Every structure is written in C-alpha cells, then in structure tokens.
C-alpha cells in the first residue's frame, strides 16, 4: 500500500508542476497571436458537424474547442490548468459560442466510456507526461466508430527542436515520462493506439510564423510568454552564464529556421493525424 500511495503522491506532484508551468507567462497570448488557426485546421480535418458530441483534451484556451462549437457541435473543453480554462471562457464569450469547460487530467478523464463522437487535441495532449495513459483515455471516451484527431508538433520541426535546445537547461523530467514531440511521429501514435484505430491519415504540414522581426524578438517573446520556456529560464535563474547560453541557443535556433532574410519568417512543422476508433 505504501508504494501505491507513494506513486499516487508522485503523480499528484508532477501534475501540480505541469499546472503551474502552463500558468506561467501568457499562453493565451501565444495561442491567439502565434497559432490562432491551428485548431480550426484540426476541426476541419475531423469533419466536425452540427450535433456532434466533441471533447477537446488539453484544450488550453480553446483553439480547437471554439471552432468546433462554432461548427455547431456540442463541445466539452478540458484542461489541467484553471487559468487557461478561464481565459478560454472569456474567448468563447467573445466569439459568441457556448461550450462546457472542465478541469481534467488527460490521463484520468472524468467522462464515460464512449461518450463522444469526436475526441481531439491540438498541441495539447502531447504534453501529458505518460503517453500511453493519455492515449488509452482518449480511446476510452470515444464511441466505437468515432473520430480521433491530433495535431502535434514534430520532433524535427521548430518547436520540437526548441524543446531539444531547452533540455540541457530545464529541470530533468521524472522517470517514466516521455518527451512531448514523440506525438509528432505517426509510428509513435500507431504504437500507442494499436489495433484500436483504423482509417488513419497522417500528414506533415507547416504553419507560417511571421510574428517576429528578429531571432532575438522570438526568443524574448517565448522567454516571457511560453510556460515551458519560462520554466527553463527559472531553473537556471541563479546562473548568469547558463542564462546567456540559453539566450544564444534559442536565438540561434530561430536564425537557422528563418527562410526570409528580410524578416524572421519561419515554417513550423506539425503532424495532423485523424483516425476512426474500431467498432469492436
């Protein structure tokens, strides 16, 4: 029993750190200013229709949930971080759509088996630390024959490479957890879902990012607003040399990915995957 309690306590502490990390900075600004259209891309790929019952897992501020509701679906948006849900409520009100917002752990969803026609996640579930547990829950709450939809950053793309660049500076992940960008590999997702999905389509695409004028402006924006980057800097705050090194590495990353010498115009790669849950 003591081992079970210890594991549960460890998981609660891990999830508390995740909640705190995503509350750092200003992720609502990142979602609305940098990647505002990714959620709608996923909703369209999932062919969400009026009357569909849709769950957006790790919804953040609702980049996918709000377009799904606008399409006429009955939507539940869940996330681990209350601050993001509150920002999502404000955003949905501004967009004039109604949906349900629920605080929930992607690895232990408070929903019934087969409750939803479509279960999707836009650069969200990939950050759940235990990939198999999250995938199992995604499948469990989707009805047989329902749609699974995922939009995740790839390991080889810009955001995947940013996490690689930050890894030496960030606090080490707990044992048993897996890196988020693995969700950007079709073979990883197929291994997680196994024979529980069929009719899989997987496309690598890019989103054009023209928000930043210099590599340094990208770095400073993410340093101030993106929770994982803010957390990495906090982990080394007492070591000025390492702060300087991370400053350099993030600006150098943006410079390598810039393809327009007049601006810092970058193409960030993601994987768009849809599938059907098997009927069996």
CA nearest 222: which of 174, 179, 159, 142?
Answer: 159
pLDDT at 5 over 70: no
Q: Does 261 reside within a domain?
A: no
Is the whole-model pTM more than 0.75? yes
- Strand 264-277 vs strand 197-212: parallel, antiparallel, or unpaired? antiparallel
User: pLDDT tens across 157-188, in order?
Assistant: 999 999 999 999 998 888 889 999 999 999 99
User: pLDDT tens across 195-228, in order?
Assistant: 999 999 999 999 999 999 999 999 999 999 999 9
In the chain, the percentage of residues whose pLDDT exceeds 90 is: 91
Q: Does 169 reside within a domain?
A: yes
Q: Does 48 reside within a domain?
A: yes
Biggest CA–CA distance in the chain, Å, is 62
Please tell me the predicted confidence (pLDDT) of residue 175: 87
Q: Does 260 reside within a domain?
A: no
Q: Does 256 reside within a domain?
A: no
- Other Cβ atoms within 10 Å of 9 Cβ, number: 10
- Other Cβ atoms within 10 Å of 4 Cβ, number: 8
CATH code: domain of residue 142: 3.40.50.150
Q: Does 160 reside within a domain?
A: yes
Please tell me the predicted confidence (pLDDT) of residue 98: 97
Number of domain units in the chain:
1
CA nearest 159: which of 87, 218, 85, 83?
Answer: 218
167/161 Cα distance (integer angstroms): 10
* Mean pLDDT score, 140-161: 98
Give the orientation angle of helix 2-23 with respect to helix 227-235, to 10 degrees: 110
Q: In terms of residue numbers, what domain contains 98?
A: 2-208+269-277
User: pLDDT tens across 240-278, in order?
Assistant: 999 999 999 999 999 999 876 566 799 999 999 999 999
Q: Does 98 reside within a domain?
A: yes
Mean pLDDT for the chain overall: 95
Tell me the pLDDT band of 1, cut-offs 50, 70 and 90. very low
Instruction: Give yes or no for a contact between 144 and 115, defined as CB atoms under 8 angstroms apart.
Output: no
Instruction: Give yes or no for a contact between 68 and 93, defined as CB atoms under 8 angstroms apart.
Output: no
Q: Does 237 reside within a domain?
A: no
Please tell me the predicted confidence (pLDDT) of residue 242: 98
User: pLDDT tens across 102-122, in order?
Assistant: 999 999 999 999 999 999 999
Q: E-assigned strands of the chain? A: 53-56, 74-79, 100-103, 116-122, 142-153, 197-212, 264-277
């Amino acid at each position: 029993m003591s081992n079970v309690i210890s594991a549960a306590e460890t998981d609660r502490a891990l999830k508390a750190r995740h909640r705190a990390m995503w509350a750092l900075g200003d992720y609502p600004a990142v979602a609305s200013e940098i990647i505002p259209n990714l959620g709608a891309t996923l909703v369209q790929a999932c062919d969400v229709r009026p009357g569909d019952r849709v769950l957006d897992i790790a919804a953040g501020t609702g980049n996918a949930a709000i377009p799904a509701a606008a399409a006429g679906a009955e939507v539940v948006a869940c996330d681990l971080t209350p601050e993001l849900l509150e920002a999502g409520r404000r955003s949905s009100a501004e967009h004039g759509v109604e949906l349900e917002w629920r605080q929930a752990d992607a690895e232990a969803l408070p929903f019934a088996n087969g409750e939803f026609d479509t279960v999707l996640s836009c650069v969200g579930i990939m950050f759940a630390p235990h990939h198999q547990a999250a995938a199992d829950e995604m499948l469990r709450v989707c009805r047989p024959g329902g749609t699974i939809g995922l939009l995740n950053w790839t390991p080889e793309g810009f955001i995947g490479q940013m996490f690689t660049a930050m890894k030496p500076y960030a606090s080490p992940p707990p044992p048993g957890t897996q890196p988020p960008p693995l969700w950007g590999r079709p073979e990883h997702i197929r291994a997680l879902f196994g024979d529980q999905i069929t009719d899989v389509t997987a496309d690598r695409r890019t989103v054009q990012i023209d928000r930043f004028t210099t590599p340094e402006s990208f770095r400073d924006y993410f340093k101030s607003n993106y929770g994982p980057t803010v957390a990495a800097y906090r982990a080394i705050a007492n070591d000025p040399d390492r702060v300087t090194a991370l400053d350099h590495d993030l600006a150098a990353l943006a410079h390598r990915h810039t393809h327009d010498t007049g601006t810092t115009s970058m193409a960030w790669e993601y994987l768009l995957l849809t599938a059907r849950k098997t009927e069996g």
